[in-house]
Structure 1
Amino acid sequence: MKLTLMFTVGLLFNIYNLQSQITNNYIHIQKENKPKKDWKIIWQDDFNNAELDTTKWTKIPPNNADWGNYMTDDPLCYDFKDGKLYLKGIKNTDTIKDPRPYLTGGIYTKGKFAYQYGKIEIHAKLESAQGAWPAMWMLAETKKYGKYPKNGEIDLMEHLSFEDQVYQTTHSYYTLELKQKDNPPYYTTTKVDVSKYNTYGLEWSPDKLVYTINSKPTITYPKLDNVDKSQWPFDQPFYLLIDQQLGGSWVGEVNPDDLPVNMVVDWVKVYQ
């Protein structure tokens, strides 16, 4: 019986390896011809612990990007209860310790988990506030083509202030620098009751990105022939970011009276 179990486990492991490979112990690369029906969960977090699993995530540090002005590892911006992660945007009550007026929580898998091709789903609900900008998105782990935006950016979900819609967007040198935003269309908006839990996702294959909400496709961004090669940098591993941003040139000024504001993340699942 024991030998049979060991044989079965070994067989399943070998089947998975025929369809996917792992490099550097954390980058999962799916073979290009793997059928969807065979997808299995390769990585997930249900946030059932009372603290962040640092084998999977890192708190996003402050940075000079428009979205990263208020990122912090301050525990006040992170909470864990009822099997959910609360990423917070708050007023900073100690500007002697930190002069910034606001603080925001965010996590990413950079250096700990990245993948190429497959499916990702994030189950979460959003709170609204003027200047709130929660986002779920992906950036290239290995930077195959150089500096941003040459490696692209995949925005699974962005929400602005009190809007009743979310944005799903594909960015690259092709869209941002060459201004090729209609060939093919690079983003869509979808009406969503953000105060309820929704599942934001992406099905990623070698020739297209299919964005989803609650398992329903919303927009497909295909790889095109006979266009500038910068149109498709999505042939390399990407890591995941989830953050409750505040302020910025797109969302505008923050109303401190609306704070605190939360993005509540129930679970994250990645399939290959």
Structure 2
Amino acid sequence: MTKAQPSLLLLLFLMAACVNKPYQKVGDYSYVQNANRQNKGWKLIWQDEFESDELDTSKWTKIPPNQADWGNYMTSDDRCYAIEDGKIYLKGIQNNDLESDERPFLTGGIYTKGKFAFQYGKVEIHAKLESAQGAWPAMWMLSEHQKYGNYPRNGEIDIMEHINFEDKIYQTTHSYYTLDLKQTQNPPHGGTATFDRKVFNTFGLEWSPDKLVFTLNGKETFTYPRIENVDKSQWPYDQPFYLLIDMQLEGSWVGKADPKDLPVQMIVDWVRVYQ
């Protein structure tokens, strides 16, 4: 065997490994799905099973407080987080230490912003949602970059939202098209699905270049298609998005929180992304 042969075999192996990947990596952390994968099997590209005793900060950041309706009580306070038995507990609590933080409530949430984003693929989140008046647990996605300008021009994908004590979840898209142009029915921009609040459920999304398919426990519940002959802002979903999972409290939609119902928590077993 000549000296060139081992090098050639290594090169061929590396080329084959690259071809078998379902994505092209853009930058350090954005995974853009290869074209024409709709009829091929899903491959797991990213996951967190929460088996460590601490939050994996290479994947997640605790969501800081912000001025959005959902973000008034976000905090990095350890009282709103726990990882036990392979699950992360994101909590909404009444704040009894008003000297350190004057806000009446505190909530925990995590996101992958700046650490992991993907364009097209499937995401599934296995979790249990506790209920309370004013509770608003959510699993959703925002664009990693401002390709089309400021919010809401880059869109928002709400994989799951739950409010108060309802036995249904909301799965919705928001964009300049739906919010500013008021085009919420051409096509319908959201749907609901009934679920059992007492058990763990798997909330999901299958995202392709021409549609968003929302799922619950592996079954399709609502589809938002890309359509033609409308304003281009109808489909900002052609860019990498990051994940947010948060236990929100209060807001104009959900109403005021009732302290006697707190603490409340969202228990997340695992998060998996495929392409």
Give the TM-score range, shorter chain.
over 0.9
> Which 10-residue stretch deviates more, 71-80 or 190-199?
190-199
d(CA) in 1 for partners of 2:103, 2:25 = 40
- 1:153 paired to 2:153: no
Which structure 1 residue ranges, 5 or more long, are not aligned?
A: none
Paired position in structure 2 for 1:110: 113
- 1:14 paired to 2:14: no
Q: Cα RMSD between the aligned structures? A: 1.6
d(CA) in 2 for partners of 1:121, 1:6 = 35
- The amino acid that maps onto 2:166 is E
- 1:30 paired to 2:41: no
Paired position in structure 1 for 2:203: 200
Partners of 1:32 and 1:206 within 8 A in 2: no
Paired position in structure 1 for 2:132: 129
Residue correspondences, number: 269
Instruction: Please give the per-residue CA displacement for 1:15-39, whole angstroms capped at 9, x wherever unaligned.
Output: 234x421111100001231134332
Counterparts of 1:58-207 in structure 2, within 5 Å, are 58-207=61-210
Which structure 2 residue ranges, 5 or more long, are not aligned?
A: 1-5
d(CA) in 2 for partners of 1:37, 1:63 = 40
Partners of 1:71 and 1:104 within 8 A in 2: yes
The TM-score with structure 2 as length reference comes to 0.94
The TM-score with structure 1 as length reference comes to 0.95
Paired position in structure 2 for 1:212: 215
d(CA) in 1 for partners of 2:98, 2:10 = 58
d(CA) in 2 for partners of 1:12, 1:241 = 34
> Which 10-residue stretch deviates more, 89-98 or 34-43?
34-43
Instruction: Please give the per-residue CA displacement for 1:47-87, whole angstroms capped at 9, x wherever unaligned.
Output: 01111000000000000000000000000000011100000
Query: What is the Cα deviation at residue 8 of structure 1?
Result: 8.9
d(CA) in 2 for partners of 1:23, 1:223 = 24
Query: What is the Cα deviation at residue 12 of structure 1?
Result: 5.0
Paired position in structure 2 for 1:269: 272
Identity of aligned residues (%): 65
d(CA) in 2 for partners of 1:6, 1:136 = 42
Moved over 6 A (4+): 5-9
d(CA) in 2 for partners of 1:167, 1:251 = 12
Answer with 1 or 2: which has the greater Rg: 2
Structure 2 CA distance for partners of 1:8 and 1:262, relative to 1, 3 Å = farther
Structure 2 CA distance for partners of 1:94 and 1:35, relative to 1, 3 Å = same
d(CA) in 1 for partners of 2:235, 2:181 = 13
Counterparts of 1:183-262 in structure 2, within 5 Å, are 183-262=186-265
d(CA) in 1 for partners of 2:87, 2:56 = 13
